[in-house]
Structure 1
Amino acid sequence: MRSTQILRHVPLIKFVGGKHQFLASNNAITAHPDSHGLLPGSADAIKVSSLLKPKPAARKPLKQVQILKASNKPFDFTSVAELPKRFQSPIFEAIEIDAVNYGGASTLI
C-alpha cells in the first residue's frame, strides 16, 4: 500500500469550543416590531384577496396646457433656437455621424 493511503486525513480548519446548545424558543405568533401591534390574520389586517380584486380605473381630468408667451426680459428664452449661437447644439455633418455609428473607424468598407 501507499504511505499516503495509510495516513489519516487531518482537516486544516480547527474549530474552537464545543457544539452550541440551542435555547428553547417561543413559537407563538407575535407582531413584528414595526407593525405597531398588528397581528397577521387579525380583523384589522388587510387580506390579500381584497388587494387582488380588479378596481375601476379612476380618471383624472386633463389639465389645460399653458402656452408660454415670449417675454421682454433679457436672457429669458422659450426655445433653444432663440439662444445665442455659442449655446446652440452644433449641426453634425454626415461624416461625423458615420464615424460615431461605425465606432470611430477611419475606413468605411
Structure 2
Amino acid sequence: MRQTAVKLAKSYTPLIKFVGTKHPVLEHSGSVHPHPCTIDGILPGSDSCVSAKDFLSKLKPFEVVPYKTKKPSQKPAGGNVGRAYEFVSRPLHENELASISELPVRFKLRPFEDVEMESINAGGAL
C-alpha cells in the first residue's frame, strides 16, 4: 500500500497552471516618501503627523444615557417587563438628532430602484 501512495504522490500534477513569472520583491530605500493617499503629503513622524495615541486620546466615547427606573415599590403587577422603565425626556445635546430623517444627505438611505425591488420580490438573485 505504501508504495502505491508514494507513486501516486510523485505522479500528481496540479491542474492549476500559473501564467507568467513571480512578482518582483520591491526593495524600500531608506528615504521616507509620503503615502499616495495622505493629505498634503504628510510624512510619518513629522510635526504635522499626529500619533495614534494622541488621536485616540482626543476621541470621545459614545455616551449612553440610562433610563431612570421606577421606585421598587411601584413594580408592575404580573411581571410586565415592558413597563419596568420610564423614559425621561431631555433636550438634545450638540450633534444629536431626533430622527433619522434629519441625517445629512450622505448618511440617508437611497430609495430602492425598480430593478432592485423586483429582485427582492423574486426571492433574491435572478
TM-score range, shorter chain: 0.3 to 0.5
TM-score by length of 2: 0.30
**TM-score, normalising length: structure 1:** 0.33
Greater relative contact order: 1 or 2 (C-alpha under 8 angstroms, separation 6 or more)? 2
The structure with the largest alpha-carbon Rg is 1
Q: Relative to total residues, which structure has the larger helix share, 1 or 2?
A: 2
